[in-house]
Amino acid sequence: MKIAVSLIAVSVLSSVGFSQEIQPLWLDGKIPYFKPVDAETGSPLMTVYKAEGKNHTGAAVVICPGGGYGGLAKDHEGHQPAQWFQRQGVTAFVLQYRLGSQGHHYPTQLADVQRAVRWVRSHASDLKLDPERIAVMGFSAGGHLASMAATLYDEKVYEASDAIDEVSARPDFAILCYPVISMDRSVTHGGSRKNLLGPDWVDDDELAKKLSSNLNVSEDTPPTFIFQTNEDTAVPAENAVLMFLALREKGVPVEMHVFQNGPHGVGLYRGDPVLGTWSGHLRDWLKTNFFYAAKQERLAVKGEVNLDGHPVAWGVLTFYPESDSLPPTSVRVRRGKYSAPAELGPVKGKATLTFEGSIWESTGSPDDKVVNLKSKSPHDDVPIEVLLEDGVGRIDFEFRSR
């Protein structure tokens, strides 16, 4: 039975009133690599989770569920992360890309994810999105698809059918969760290679090499976050490590978290008190890289820091912008001095400040311990506020611990 390709609103039973919309990627008759099965599955399409209300950030993410290119883990690697993003004011698009089990092989999947990014970017104005804050996220084989989106965004794998296809397919951020990266038999997930390459090309090592994303990284690959577990035997951690090293070699901003324990395919896994913390690291990384708010000017800062009349031997100052969507900035204090260049300094504007530090190295007194302060002394409950403007010059601080 053919599924209608018109926009359909679907209510989601949720205490927070989430909503979803189904969005086809192409119009009927314009779908590249079309097969009759596509009329039955409705693929390719996206489920849209719109961010609305006062926490709407203007950011967007295209999510590629895993499933070895043979199925789609739509719940824990699609629906759940989409709602997680939606709660943070990010509009999420869960991509239902076409599969090897349906007779679709490379380059169909790359065409689908390119079109998804282009569709989001071309509709940014309608959806009140920033076209320069679009992320692609993928789990397992979906992580491979997301990594192809981040590295092969310029590869022409289908003919343009409308103005959407003239828009850039390059995502601005990539989030790779226990990803398949290499198609090399020694480290890849065999099912993903088989389903992506197809029966006629599964033994073609040259094609496999071409689709190994670690070999396609360039200086223009977007900033990337990688999450992996060491225990994973389905998709070995070598995949994530190869991608990390390739990104590092090309100077691409990258952060990777490898947890000791945890099986393959965990999704957010927020019920686990250890492994479930990975999404918090992702949120912090996204904030650091100006995902939740448009990139803003940073300023160089420097000055001196004293505690109880002594230069702080070792410590850290952290500047928190007024907006929680902007990244905080920590600057190290050493021998009573701190400094940061503009590219690493705090965001311009009003900020509150916290301090952690010690003078024990200077005094040697057992009474001198590390102190944590949100004000100038433990007996002062007035937050420390600074106004960071052009030409700010030196900012010196005097703290008391007693």
Strands (E), 151-286: 173-177, 224-229, 254-259
Contacts of 155 (CB under 8 A, 6+ apart): 107, 110
Chain-centre distance of CA 19, in angstroms? 22
- Per-residue pLDDT, 19: 67
- Per-residue pLDDT, 18: 55
Question: To 5 degrees, how large is the angle CA 15–CA 59–CA 117?
Answer: 110
Share of the chain above pLDDT 70, in %: 95
- Whether the predicted pLDDT of 8 surpasses 60: no
- Joined together, the tokens standing for residue 149 give 């989106």
Q: Is there a contact between 215 and 209 (Cβ–Cβ < 8 Å)?
A: yes
Three-class SS state of 229:
strand
Give, to the nearest 10 degrees, the angle between helix 190-197 and helix 141-151.
60
The pTM is what?
0.93
10 Å CB burial of residue 53 (0-12, 13-18, 19+) is exposed
- Whether the predicted pLDDT of 374 surpasses 80: yes
- Per-residue pLDDT, 308: 95
How many other CB atoms sit within 10 Å of the CB of residue 307? 26
pLDDT tens sequence across 45-79:
999 999 988 889 999 999 999 999 999 999 999 99
DSSP classification of residue 75? I
- Joined together, the tokens standing for residue 241 give 């490590």
Architecture in CATH for domain 301-399 = Sandwich (2.60)
- Joined together, the tokens standing for residue 327 give 């990244």
pLDDT tens sequence across 239-280:
999 999 999 999 999 999 999 999 999 999 999 999 999 999
pLDDT tens sequence across 116-125:
999 999 999 9
Q: How far apart are CA 287 and CA 131, in angstroms?
A: 17
Looking only at the bridges linking them, the beta strands covering 397-399 and 254-259 are unpaired
Q: What is the mean pLDDT of residues 149-169?
A: 97
Is the fold of 8-288 the same as that of 301-399?
Answer: no
| CATH number of the 8-288 domain | 3.40.50.1820
Q: What is the mean pLDDT of residues 312-318?
A: 97
Pick left, alpha or beta for residue 364 (phi over 0 → left; psi -120 to 50 → alpha; otherwise beta).
left
Domain boundaries, the chain: 8-288, 301-399
Average pLDDT, the chain: 93
- Per-residue pLDDT, 1: 37
- Whether the predicted pLDDT of 380 surpasses 90: no
- Per-residue pLDDT, 47: 98
DSSP-assigned beta bridge partners for residue 244? none
Question: Residue 388 carries which side chain, given as an amino acid letter?
Answer: L
Structure confidence at residue 393 as a pLDDT band (50, 70, 90)? confident
